[in-house]
Structure 1
Amino acid sequence: MTNILIVCESTNQRTSTSHILQSGGYDVVEAANTSEGLTCAEQDHPELIVLDARSSDVDSDAFIHTLRATQPTSAVPILMLHEDCAQPMHGTRTNGTSLNGAPDALLCTPIQEQDLLVCVQTMLRMRETQTTLYHQNQRLKAQLELLTIANRSLDLRVLSEQLLDCVLWMVGLSYGGIWLYDRDQIVCLAQRGLNAEQTGGSARRRVQVDSPFAHALQSGKAIYYDMVAAVGESSIPEKPHPLAIIPLMIESEGIGVLQLSTIDGSGPAPEDYHLLDTVLIHIARAINRAHQYEWSERQRYRLELADRKKDEYISIISHELKNPMASIKGYADLVLRRIRKNPDDPNRKGLEIISQQVKRMTGLLEQLIDFSRINMNRLKLNLEQCDIGDITKRVVEDLHATTTQHQLTLTIRDTPLIAPLDEPRITQAISNIIGNAIKYSPADGSITIHIKQHQTDPREALLSISDQGVGIPEAEQDKLFQRFFRASNVEEDVTGTGLGLFITREIVSRHGGRIWFESHEGQGTTFFITLPLVSVIEQPDL
């Protein structure tokens, strides 16, 4: 039954007003003065206050101001009974929000019984409507906040704590927790007001078959228990407390549990649980997304760690193998020089093969070492101002001596083309491209190298290498610079590691340059390399 507080100094008027309200079915609390009225308002929690100000001694402004300034009574509607409505009441509410010293409604003498009851009924209905709207607004606000939180973070622990705080705010509770279910084990991600014995701390523990968590996860339905039944005798409070265990489901799979508990034995209103039901899927998805992200990050870290160890191992082994290879080649070359005067020496051919194969193996080891350095970010450059044309010319001369079946043509324009370069590394990159052109071109094939200042961007030098080789299948062209990749149309007797272009691109990129190609299968390939110049060359006037 609705509780109404009457504050009136006149016993007769207070009794008369009380009788009218009681006849209307209301419970009435009476206060003989404003001081007593403030005490009753705080203790009895009335839903409406009737202030009889027909006595000139009543300080209505101070009384109302005090009520408005006190949190428990600030929203209680106030009906003032006044002697003369013709006398203006400063601050009287007219727009639905009362000023600090003004009542919510005003009735003046003569006060009719029906008028009083209608006014009280209207004010109570307005209060109920306002309260409903306020709670709906708060629920929607909480729902929006929760949806915002659900998409804010991928840190599983931080996200879970923020979601739990928002859920507890939504349902008006202070105790609860969120657990993650993963491979028959459960771990507490966040908790409020629960001790380590209740939550299991941060350790993973196996879910007992007959536990409330297991039942909730298996059935996909919320379970309501006393805290004693749910978390054990060790955490019994002074009296049993209700507890809600709500599974977090994605489709038909349980990924966790939300636990809600209260300390005073009361639970959320049905509409609060209904609102919670509408956001459970968002909570589950957010936690699952963060969990998957955390798992993928752990896997990525493990793979990167394994990759680093592999690269370090390759680097160590390659260095260890280089030393005996150098000794073998040095000894073979020494013997070759000694028997050079005797072309009929039966050991000559074998020694030449040994020298060539050791040189090839050394090149492969160098590629593996560079590959490891790139992956470990240890490929260092020592930049000096160099002429790109001179470097390319020396590379062409060296490679020309290795083949008698291919024609290499070098054209250099706009000399000099000075750039900040690590000369050994750029030499390696250009050698890789021209060497591939020789390797994949047919006998008597022509390889053309052009170097000039870039017409589109004169701050760059442009190097192009064209061959008449097998070309690159269109479906495989986007993979060409990947490590260990070799095109499917390469003949089996053409050896290679699939690292040359990967290393070349890295070298060019670290110089601030670019590398790309144009190719049609069976029609050859043209590679392009740009490198930034130190200064722009002035073109002569035509």
Structure 2
Amino acid sequence: MPIDVESKLLIVDDLPENLLALEALIRGPGRPVYQASSAEQALALLLEHEFALAILDVQMPGMNGFELAEMMRGTERTRHIPIIFVSAAGREMNYAFKGYESGAVDFLQKPLDAQTVSSKVSVFVDLYRHRKALKHEIDALAVSHRRQEALVQQLQCTQRELERAVRMRDDFMSMVSHELRTPLNTLYLETQVRKLHLSKNNMAPFAPDRLPAMIERDQRQIQNMVRLIDDMLDVTRMRSGALSIQPRPVDLAQLARGVVESLAQQAEAVGPPIRFEAPAGVPGVWDEFRIEQVLTNLITNALRYGAGKQVEVSVRQEGGRARMSVSDQGPGIAAEDHARIFEQFERTDDSRRQAPGLGLGLYIARQIVRSHGGEIDLASAPGQGAAFSVILPLSAETPAA
């Protein structure tokens, strides 16, 4: 159905009485008529308005109707306007043939027949309105198509995210099962062996000099399970925004020294002692437990992947910030993995081969540091070790975790 659109009509004749008579024949609701007494005036109107039809007198002083039509056909803006020529010249002048050559759609002889003129104009007005309606529908379809394409892309993106989430869930469950099974299996085997000794009344394995090593093995396996469970709980708290940060005055140098001393035995088991460097004190306001958790994670990783070489820990104050750095001389981390390893369940291929784990430690560490208003930087390249730096404001800003 044609849309309700104004259909402008252009009439061009050098005689005012002809313009008045023609306008009286063709005017009607929704079809304003514009008059031009010369080709020059017509061109000015054509530049200003969009017309549904142009009715041109052939014989005009200066530029005649045929020349005006040729100019209209040579311009992109006006080439599609239907043209009807009118002329008082006799048929022997062969004007009709020349008019059609100029691009006219019809040719009328004066004196004009009112009914013929009115019906022809109505046909072209209806065609114009149908063309406008079709363009409107095409434009609407194009907009709808673009929206559908955008929706399809959005759905595809959502599908990829869901598929990734499912893979992460499956990988997570697989890793958790594996990581928890290892210490549980060790404990189970230990208890079975002890049960066997007791059934045979063999008390030698329970001698006082062997009990400390037995207890230490049990504690290590239990601590591994507790660490895994704590990591999973921390991730859950972070996702729900419920990670608790409780800042209080802390000496960062003293805190770091305590962590290094607590890991001294673990360091000696794999290589040289940890090299620690810190000033007398770096006071600030942080959550002591959480910052200790971050530093423990970084040092443990350095010992685990540092290839048995020197691990260095330093603490210093830089203006209004504190910096903790942990560096190792391990295989290093490729640049393309720097951002990825801070995401959940992400690990490099080398780290996955070297040691078990869920790939949550660095993610948790970064979230804790960010919850203090700080950030973690990584400087590393393959074959050049890795240096993690924790930069903290001296007073925790504690944005939403």
Range into which the TM-score falls when normalised by the shorter chain: 0.5 to 0.7
SS at structure 2 position matched to 1:426:
helix
Distance 1:275 1:494 in 2: 66
Q: CA–CA distance in 1 between the matches of 2:18 and 2:310?
A: 109
CA spacing shift, 1:406–1:423, aligned 2, 3 Å: same
The answer to whether the 8 A contact 2:282-2:322 is kept is: no
Could you tell me how far 1:136 is from its partner in structure 2?
Answer: 4.5
Residue 415 of structure 1 aligns with which residue? 281
Residue number in structure 2 paired with 1:489: 350
Which runs of structure 2 are paired with 1:84-483 in the superposition (5 Å)?
116-121=17-22, 127-129=32-34, 136=50, 269-276=129-136, 278-289=138-149, 291-292=151-152, 295=155, 342-343=208-209, 345=210, 349-404=213-268, 405-413=271-279, 415-419=281-285, 421-443=286-308, 445-454=309-318, 458-483=319-344
Structure 2: distance between partners of 1:526 and 1:274 = 66
- TM-score of the superposed pair, with normalisation by structure 1: 0.43
Aligned partners of 2:330, 2:320: CA distance in 1, in Å?
A: 31
Flag structure 2 segments of 5+ consecutive residues without an equivalent: 1-6, 9-14, 36-44, 53-125, 195-204, 397-401
2:389 pairs, out of 485, 503, 528, with: 528
Structure 1 unaligned spans of 5+: 1-74, 77-113, 139-265, 536-542
Matches within 5 A, 1:13-92: none
Q: Aligned letter for 1:279?
A: D
- Following superposition, the deviation at residue 350 of structure 1 comes to 4.7
Structure with the bigger percentage of helix: 2
| Whole-Å separation in 2 of the counterparts to 1:469 and 1:348 | 33
Q: 1:342 to 1:430 in 2, by over 3 A?
A: same
Larger relative contact order, structure 1 or 2 (CA cutoff 8 Å, min sep 6):
2
- Superposition RMSD on alpha carbons, in Å? 4.5
TM-aligned CA distance change 1:534 to 1:118, over 3 Å = closer
Q: What is the number of equivalent residue pairs in this alignment?
A: 276
State the secondary structure of the residue aligned to 2:277.
strand
Gap change, CA 1:395 and 1:115, over 3 Å in 2? closer
Aligned to 2:11: none
Paired amino acid for 1:403: A
Contact kept? 1:473, 1:489, Cα under 8 Å: no
TM norm structure 2? 0.56
Shift of 1:303: 7.8
Residues 119 and 475 (structure 1 numbering): CA distance in 2 closer, same or farther, change over 3 Å? Answer: closer
Q: Does the 8 Å contact 2:345/2:359 carry over to 1?
A: yes
Identity %: 24
Q: How far apart are the structure 2 equivalents of 1:340 and 1:380?
A: 43
Letter of the 1:120 counterpart: A
Kept in 1, the 8 Å contact 2:346–2:359? The answer is yes
- How many Å apart are 1:523 and its aligned residue? 2.2
385 and 469 in structure 1: CA distance in 2 versus 1, 3 angstrom threshold: same
